[in-house]
């Protein structure tokens, strides 16, 4: 028996110290609700959970962004509803003025005066309807696409095997080679084939700017006489240059592609792009046309004559149809935003659950550990006291 080194007391003290540390960690986890309170608790788990936490935060903001989109759409659609009302009233006045058998010049003049005032008000609504200071109905809102046009395929267009074009998105990954689908196409089918080929090539780069351009890239064909014109629209904020396989702008006759000319300009106008995801490039675009009286073709109507009243009715029918189409598109976009919000909320919920499984404390399991450490703490304290008293027994040998 020795008194200089009380090994049993040292052992009890060491175990008691370890138990004290574990008890402190359990208390920290139970009081904070987090299993990981510092990197040392789970270094790998911290890295993963922080990434998930950033995604959740981004998704919540994207949800608010989509809700802002709904507000924009509702503001614009509400104003267009009033434009509809005014156009309908103008048409009623035109129909009334056309009834020259029952209206004298004074009556038609009164109708003309009201039509003029309504036309002015339609223009004012197009200028003054704003969301957060951004005009919605004056033609400046959203992406106004550039065009590639003046293509005359004489009824069909043939892409040969191996024909390629290059697309280069400003700020993207550089010139991207696009392999065209070989075959002979009508104008509309050629446009669809070009669109699919360009989209696939841009998406394949994995570049966020290229992806954003691909998401908004469309090709259409407008018949003009025996020929027609291709229109490539780009809702992205980056320009897309289109050249042949050698990098030369596509001019008449080049590579058998016909007169496919120019650069798809970058989107112009303020607003119109909504970030509806947590990651770069996850955007949707909204463009709203000009609803001024001049654009709708109702700024200079005259119902003072039979012919003028007839023309006014036709012009107002066209304007009503245009506004109806715009409102229909806005309604469809609102439904899309609502679907986005539902999807974002489900995604947020699932990623939050994943982050919780990594980061949060399992309270039941941790309480078991806490109770165990608490008992060990009490037992260790008692045993350290006993170990410290053992050397006292040596005194009996010295009597």
State residue 253's pLDDT score. Answer: 37
Q: Which region among 39-48, 119-128, 244-253, 302-311 has the lowest average model confidence (pLDDT)?
A: 244-253
Per-residue pLDDT reduced to its tens digit, 352-397: 999 888 888 888 888 998 899 899 999 989 988 888 888 777 777 7
Of 224 and 24, the structure prediction assigns the larger pLDDT to 24
Number of domains in the chain: 1
Q: What is the dihedral of CA 16, 17, 23, 24, to 10 degrees?
A: 160
Asked if the structure places residue 222 within a domain, the reply is yes
State residue 397's pLDDT score. Answer: 75
State residue 399's pLDDT score. Answer: 67
Asked if the structure places residue 75 within a domain, the reply is no
- Domain at 229, CATH number: 2.60.40
Per-residue pLDDT reduced to its tens digit, 197-249: 888 888 888 888 888 878 777 776 665 444 455 556 665 555 666 554 444 44
**Helix (H/G/I), strand (E/B), else coil: 298:** coil
State residue 160's pLDDT score. Answer: 59
Of 39 and 251, the structure prediction assigns the larger pLDDT to 39
Asked if the structure places residue 228 within a domain, the reply is yes
Which residues constitute the domain of residue 257? 143-268
Q: Tokens 């040969």 belong to which residue?
A: 160
Beta strands in 157-211 (DSSP E): 157-159, 164-169, 175-179, 183-185
Other residues' Cβ atoms within 10 Å of the Cβ of residue 300: 11
- Phi/psi of residue 395, each to 5°? -60, -30
Asked if the structure places residue 163 within a domain, the reply is yes
Of 259 and 183, the structure prediction assigns the larger pLDDT to 183
Taking the C-alpha atoms of residue 321 and residue 329, their distance in angstroms, rounded to an integer, is 12
Contact 149, 234 (CB under 8 A): no
Asked if the structure places residue 303 within a domain, the reply is no
State residue 286's pLDDT score. Answer: 84
Parallel/antiparallel/unpaired status of strands 240-244 and 227-234 = unpaired
State residue 153's pLDDT score. Answer: 42
Asked if the structure places residue 173 within a domain, the reply is yes
Mean pLDDT to the nearest integer, 245-263 = 41
Element (H, E) at 234: strand 227-234
Per-residue pLDDT reduced to its tens digit, 366-378: 899 889 989 999 9
Distance of CA 354 to the CA centre of its chain: 24
Of 220 and 24, the structure prediction assigns the larger pLDDT to 24
Asked if the structure places residue 172 within a domain, the reply is yes
Percent of the chain with pLDDT over 70: 79
State residue 187's pLDDT score. Answer: 67
Asked if the structure places residue 238 within a domain, the reply is yes
Taking the C-alpha atoms of residue 240 and residue 229, their distance in angstroms, rounded to an integer, is 18
Taking the C-alpha atoms of residue 145 and residue 161, their distance in angstroms, rounded to an integer, is 30
Per-residue pLDDT reduced to its tens digit, 52-82: 999 999 999 999 999 999 999 999 999 999 9
Residue (of 311, 289, 291) closest to 302 by Cα position: 311
- Range from 33-47, 150-164, 172-186, 234-248 that averages highest in pLDDT: 33-47
pTM for the structure as a whole: 0.61
């Amino acid at each position: 028996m020795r008194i200089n080194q009380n090994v049993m007391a040292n052992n009890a003290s060491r175990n008691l110290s370890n138990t004290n540390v574990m008890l402190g960690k359990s208390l920290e986890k139970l009081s904070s609700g987090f299993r990981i309170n510092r990197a040392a608790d789970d270094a790998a788990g911290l890295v993963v959970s922080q990434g998930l936490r950033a995604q959740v935060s981004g998704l919540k903001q994207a949800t608010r962004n989509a809700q802002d989109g709904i507000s924009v759409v509702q503001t614009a659609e509400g104003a267009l509803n009033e434009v509809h009302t005014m156009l309908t009233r103008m048409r009623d006045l035109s129909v009334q003025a056309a009834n020259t058998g029952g209206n004298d010049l004074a009556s038609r003049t009164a109708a003309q005066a009201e039509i003029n005032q309504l036309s002015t008000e339609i223009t004012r609504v197009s200028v003054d309807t704003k969301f957060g200071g951004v005009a919605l109905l004056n033609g400046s809102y959203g992406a106004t696409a550039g065009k590639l046009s003046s293509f005359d395929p004489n009824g069909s267009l043939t892409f040969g095997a191996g024909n390629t074009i290059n697309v280069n998105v400003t700020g993207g990954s550089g010139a991207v080679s696009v392999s065209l689908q070989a075959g002979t196409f009508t104008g509309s089918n050629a446009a669809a084939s070009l669109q699919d080929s360009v989209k696939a090539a841009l998406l394949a780069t994995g570049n966020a700017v290229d992806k954003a351009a691909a998401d908004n890239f469309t090709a259409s064909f407008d018949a003009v006489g025996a020929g027609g014109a291709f229109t490539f629209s780009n809702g992205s904020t980056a320009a897309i240059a289109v050249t042949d396989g050698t990098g030369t702008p596509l001019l008449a006759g080049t590579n058998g592609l016909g007169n496919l000319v120019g650069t798809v300009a970058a989107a112009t106008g303020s607003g119109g792009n909504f970030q509806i995801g947590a990651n770069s490039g996850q955007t949707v675009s909204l463009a709203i046309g000009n609803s001024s009286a001049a654009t709708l073709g109702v700024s200079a109507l005259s119902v003072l004559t039979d012919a003028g009243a007839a023309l006014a009715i036709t012009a107002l029918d066209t304007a009503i149809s245009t506004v109806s189409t715009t409102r229909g598109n806005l309604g469809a976009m609102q439904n899309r935003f609502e679907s986005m919000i539902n999807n974002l909320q489900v995604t947020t919920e699932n990623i939050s659950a994943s982050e919780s499984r990594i980061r949060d404390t399992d309270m039941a399991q941790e309480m078991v550990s806490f109770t165990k450490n608490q008992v060990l703490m009490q037992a260790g304290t008692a045993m350290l006291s006993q170990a410290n008293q053992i050397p006292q027994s040596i005194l009996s040998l010295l009597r």
